Amino acid sequence: MALLTLGLNHTTAPVELREQVAFDATRLPDILVQLIQEFPDVRESAILSTCNRTELFLAIDGNFELDLVGWLGGFHDVDPDMLVPHIYRFKDLQAAKHMIRVASGLDSLVLGEPQILGQFKDAIRIARNALTCGTELEQAFSRVLSIAKRVRTETAIGRNPVSVAYTSVNLANHIFSDLSLCKVKLVGAGETIQLVAEHLIGQGVREIDVVNRTLANAKTLAASIDGFAWSLDELGERIQYADIVITSTGAPIPIIGKGIVERAQKVRRHKPMLMIDLAVPRDIEPEVGEIESVYLYTVDDLKGVIEKGFEHRQEAARHAERLIDSALDSWQRDIRGYRAVDTIKQLREGIQELSEYELAQALRILESGKPADEVLAQLSRNLTNKFLHSPTVALRSAAEQGDLSLIEATNRLFRIDDIEDLD
């Protein structure tokens, strides 16, 4: 089987397209099984779907021309022709290299962000639970995670992590002179919002409300940051008291519309409001950005907001790329070694079978009373002739056809030049 990675991300596709092909995490187990059923050549499957990327990790029977783009478009009711210009496709070691770069944070919107590693592991876990992750992907994922761990621990990227959450707070710092005076509403209660909350507290923010569809989850997060929890039904009212609104939910459609924000801004007398939408699909209608006193940013906009020290992370990334290339060279050598295992095994078994047959013949001749030295000499000749018969025929045929590569390979294999030097 072969390894194949296919997908699109924040560097190849706009947020409008990415949100259309994002997968619902709760449905992924069934989707993975469906993918395998749809394509007989797909033996194993895993899917990574985040706000910045949707990628298929597959073990296939060598057919790299599978219409996976058509399947992806059909599943999400998107014209495949719209996807084609934004899709990348890698196979075998290039697929592995891409997965390593993703898991290491080298392919993230914010270079080196650590959150993606957890998301990558979640994708593996879901595939295991769906029983669509077999030997091929397990071996690949094990190697990928091992190398990604080295990248994060042996380079500055691992020692100085950044994230989309951190960048969001950094953006707020650029707009407000003193974040400690700001009132913040966080919409959602997942890992991204938790990270945002941690960074906000680190910047001295004291008034943080958590709004979430499941109130219990909002209360859990709010309790950990000494904030207040509200249900999603109360969002329209709570947003009136917000200087900063940061959203990251799994809602399939926007939960904050232009009308809600306009009404809130009237109550606020049009004081500046920063709104950061980290969700894909988006939580905030794009039209909200048309309101004069509102600063709306999406995950794509965060590309232009990179914290100080970016050059250091770039150097760390170059170090990481060298580490990855070296690890891939080792991986490739191992793969080549695996390919020789079956040949070596068959060669050994064949020679062993030949030796045992000739030994049995020699023992029978010895029992008949023939001198041992004659029997041993005959055994030696038989082994030599029978072992070299097929190679000799192949070498003569290659020489007659002008194929010197086989002769050169034989010289290297049996070190014939070294033997001649000993004579």
Which residue segments constitute the domains of the chain, with CATH numbers given? 2-161 (3.30.460.30), 164-304 (3.40.50.720), 332-408 (no CATH)
Active site residue 133: no
To the nearest whole percent, how much of the chain has pLDDT over 70?
94
- Averaged over 279-292, what is the pLDDT? 94
422 pLDDT above the threshold of 50 = no
* Global pTM value: 0.63
183 pLDDT above the threshold of 90 = yes
pLDDT, averaged across the chain: 90
- The answer to whether 228 and 203 have CB atoms below 8 angstroms apart is no
Catalytic residue among 6, 21, 51, 66: 51
Query: Quick one: pLDDT at residue 248?
Result: 95
- What is the pairing mode between strands 228-231 and 207-212? parallel
421 pLDDT above the threshold of 60 = no
